Structure 1
Amino acid sequence: MAGESTPLGSIIDPCEYLHITINPDGTLTRSPDALLTAPPNTSTATAISRDIPINPSNNTWARIFLPKQPTSPTKLPILLYFHGGGFIIGSPDLAIFHEFCSNIAGQLPVLLVSAGYRLAPEHRLPAAYDDGMEALHWVKTVQDDWLRDHGDYSNCFIMGSSAGGNMAYHVGLRAARETDDLSPLKIKGLILHQPFFGGVGRTESELRLVNDPFLPLCVSDLMWELCLPVGADRDHSYCNPTVGEDSFGGLEEMEGLGWRVLVTGSDGDHMIERQKELVKMMEKKGIKVVGRFGVGDFHGFEFFDSSKANLLYLALQNFIFSHSLSV
């Protein structure tokens, strides 16, 4: 797999792009100055937030976002969110994710739990999925007054962006098989925001965007090389869920539970064909899924364009608060 990490014709150094150094022992040195962080807020116009540990032994924690003026007496849907970063970088306190989650919580409104997870290659997959499931169980059991007083445990959605979208899918598969253990938490659906998927064979969009300045293909390849189990290639189900399809189970259960699924993307993202293939696979399984795919935008564009982010928030609002799939 290492030989595939730099596609033919690539002109980009993926380590330099990611501000990382791969150490001789296989760990990463991540530049502390590459990504801006933000503290929890107590005075924003849209949502307040605070940090709570999940599992101190794994150094996992969550940032909870509550609308500044939560709807009362109606309780809010609970949205469990996973951040992006290719499974190798990122955390809930990165400024782009903090602002994104704050806006979602305040504008929809929902009670949003942005849960962190262990990063690869120090903790390769499925460690992140394990942490995602632990976060779900933590939400149902933690003695937190925001969740207790404002969260509707019978109306929960799992969402993630990029690698977090991949997490939302795989955590969703597990959760669909363990619904009894999650009670009283009741999951209604998944939101896969530009989910991070791949495969060994190249798609048209991957070849077309091999040197895309926003997310070059060689960067994605390196991320997969660092996060997949040792010896696995990109046709492992963690990366390419359409190979072997329901190899881990969960899709049949998801269909039986009546979950709704929203998948978003854009044709300027080299993963768009992977995302569309996932939608088709889920449709064949009878799952209530809708694809919301735009034109001309790049991977993660809604983090940088507030007008397009507002359109996404509206689509999320329609999806979460409607019983139909209209977005």
Structure 2
Amino acid sequence: MASSTAEELIHEFPYFLRVNKDGSVQRLTGNDIVPPSTNPDTGVQSKDVVIDPETDLSARLYIPKTPNPNHKRPLLVYFHGGGFCIETASSPTYHNYLISLVAEANIVAVSVDYRRAPEHPLPVAYDDSWAAVKWVASHSTSNGGEVWLRHYVDFDHVFFVGDSAGANIAHNMAIRVGSYGLDGVKLVGMVLIHPYFGGKDPTGSEGTNMMGKVFSDKLWVFAHPSSSGSDDPLFNPVMDSNFSNLGCNKVLVCVAEKDLLRERGWYYKEKLGKSGWGGVVEIMEAMGENHVFHLFNPTCDNAVTMLGRVASFLNEDKA
């Protein structure tokens, strides 16, 4: 008699991901991909590049319609969300969002396609992302091989941006910049959209949705089996002894009113402001919205407003 579906599963996150006894992974969402292109509406161009053939680390690059080597633009390094487990830099949601942001802000973007858990458990995604950041930095001199970066990027205006798990990665990359430096690059700031942070003890109204918190904490340990748990500094940044060494001077945190992770965004903003870091941290809340609503409903008023705020943040100190 064949085993039941339940007996064949060793991990299940409903509507998200399953892992079978044989080790095979079923991603239940985030599997669609789109190729790079020239967008007919905005003129934004994109292409895929391989950063490290040995690990298959790659990225998708974006430039605005009329790039000008005599007027170099800010660069954002983007880290996609998906709980470290699903989605890619080629997902339609991320591809379309980056096109919109590049067009709105008139910037250059690098969207990192890091390896995903559970096949590549954390800290692989962090290490891949750091390798991508250092690859980007190598183009601040004539040594880098990617002409879009060499010709069109102002390396004194670099930003890290990410949503959900990608926002977690963005923060941890900024911590590495603060700890180790990044030759040839000035990391001006970062944007954390609905950041996937946690902690052992509930904060704010988080305790009113314990099922959601249990899911969030369980997913973290699933993605990072060797983690110390929910208060791991990679997941609960306030526990990091290097928290105040964040390697940029301004941060924008975006939260959504109905998102379980809202409380962690506010908590991060409050604690960073009191940490002795010395930079400026701002927060923007979208009322009536849920987690990463801007990816699924990009034309709604709140999504358009947030896109404009992020674009302004990337350009506000750029002449």
Interval containing the TM-score (normalised by the shorter chain): 0.7 to 0.9
Kindly state the Cα deviation for residue 14 of structure 1 after the two structures are TM-superposed. 5.5
**Alignment-derived partner of residue 303 in structure 2:** 309
- Percent identity between matched residues is 32
**Take 1:96 and 1:139, find their aligned partners in 2: how far apart are those partners?**
23
CA offsets 1:31-82 (integer angstroms, 9 cap, x no match): 5x75321111124322110000111222211000111223563111010000
Q: Kindly tell me: are residues 114 and 253 of structure 1, through their superposed partners in 2, closer, same or farther at Cα, counting changes over 3 Å?
A: closer
Matches within 5 A, 1:39-188: 39-46=35-42, 47-70=44-67, 73-141=70-138, 142-179=144-181, 182-188=182-188
- Whether contact under 8 Å (1:195, 1:275) holds in the other structure is yes
- Whether contact under 8 Å (1:210, 1:217) holds in the other structure is yes
CA offsets 1:98-157 (integer angstroms, 9 cap, x no match): 000111111111100001112112222222111111111111223111111111111100
**1:252 and 2:245 are equivalent in the alignment:** yes
Kindly state the Cα deviation for residue 160 of structure 1 after the two structures are TM-superposed. 0.6
Q: TM-score, normalised by structure 2?
A: 0.86
**Alignment-derived partner of residue 320 in structure 1:** 314
Give the AA of the match of 2:205: S
**Take 1:217 and 1:162, find their aligned partners in 2: how far apart are those partners?**
14
**Take 1:60 and 1:41, find their aligned partners in 2: how far apart are those partners?**
20
**1:227 and 2:223 are equivalent in the alignment:** yes
**Take 1:58 and 1:205, find their aligned partners in 2: how far apart are those partners?**
41
**Take 2:217 and 2:47, find their aligned partners in 1: how far apart are those partners?**
34
Q: Structure 1, unaligned stretches of length 5 or more?
A: 1-12
Kindly state the Cα deviation for residue 165 of structure 1 after the two structures are TM-superposed. 0.3
Q: Kindly tell me: are residues 51 and 103 of structure 1, through their superposed partners in 2, closer, same or farther at Cα, counting changes over 3 Å?
A: same
Give the AA of the match of 1:188: V
Give the AA of the match of 1:201: D
Matches within 5 A, 1:202-221: 202-209=202-209, 216-221=212-217
Runs of 4+, deviation exceeding 6 Å: none
Q: Name the SS for the 1:123 alignment partner.
A: coil
Kindly state the Cα deviation for residue 207 of structure 1 after the two structures are TM-superposed. 3.8
**Alignment-derived partner of residue 6 in structure 1:** none
**Take 1:293 and 1:27, find their aligned partners in 2: how far apart are those partners?**
39
**Alignment-derived partner of residue 255 in structure 2:** 265
- Whether contact under 8 Å (2:69, 2:151) holds in the other structure is no
Kindly state the Cα deviation for residue 231 of structure 1 after the two structures are TM-superposed. 5.5
Matches within 5 A, 1:274-293: 274-284=264-274, 285=276, 286-293=278-285
Q: Name the SS for the 1:177 alignment partner.
A: helix
Q: Which moved more, 1:77-86 or 1:127-136?
A: 127-136
Give the AA of the match of 2:112: A
Give the AA of the match of 2:125: A
**Alignment-derived partner of residue 38 in structure 1:** 34
**Take 1:118 and 1:34, find their aligned partners in 2: how far apart are those partners?**
14
Kindly state the Cα deviation for residue 202 of structure 1 after the two structures are TM-superposed. 2.8
Q: Which has the higher contact order (CA 8 A, sep 6+)?
A: 1
Q: Kindly tell me: are residues 35 and 207 of structure 1, through their superposed partners in 2, closer, same or farther at Cα, counting changes over 3 Å?
A: farther
Q: Structure 2, unaligned stretches of length 5 or more?
A: 1-10, 139-143
The RMSD of aligned alpha carbons is 2.2
- Whether contact under 8 Å (1:205, 1:269) holds in the other structure is no
Q: Kindly tell me: are residues 175 and 89 of structure 1, through their superposed partners in 2, closer, same or farther at Cα, counting changes over 3 Å?
A: same
Structure 2 counterpart of 1:16, from 8, 14, 18? 14
Kindly state the Cα deviation for residue 219 of structure 1 after the two structures are TM-superposed. 4.0
Give the AA of the match of 2:296: F
Give the AA of the match of 1:22: V
**Take 1:105 and 1:203, find their aligned partners in 2: how far apart are those partners?**
35
- Whether contact under 8 Å (1:79, 1:110) holds in the other structure is yes
Kindly state the Cα deviation for residue 228 of structure 1 after the two structures are TM-superposed. 2.2
Give the AA of the match of 1:303: L
**Take 1:283 and 1:144, find their aligned partners in 2: how far apart are those partners?**
37
**Take 1:312 and 1:201, find their aligned partners in 2: how far apart are those partners?**
30
- Whether contact under 8 Å (1:80, 1:112) holds in the other structure is yes
Q: Which moved more, 1:86-95 or 1:281-290?
A: 281-290
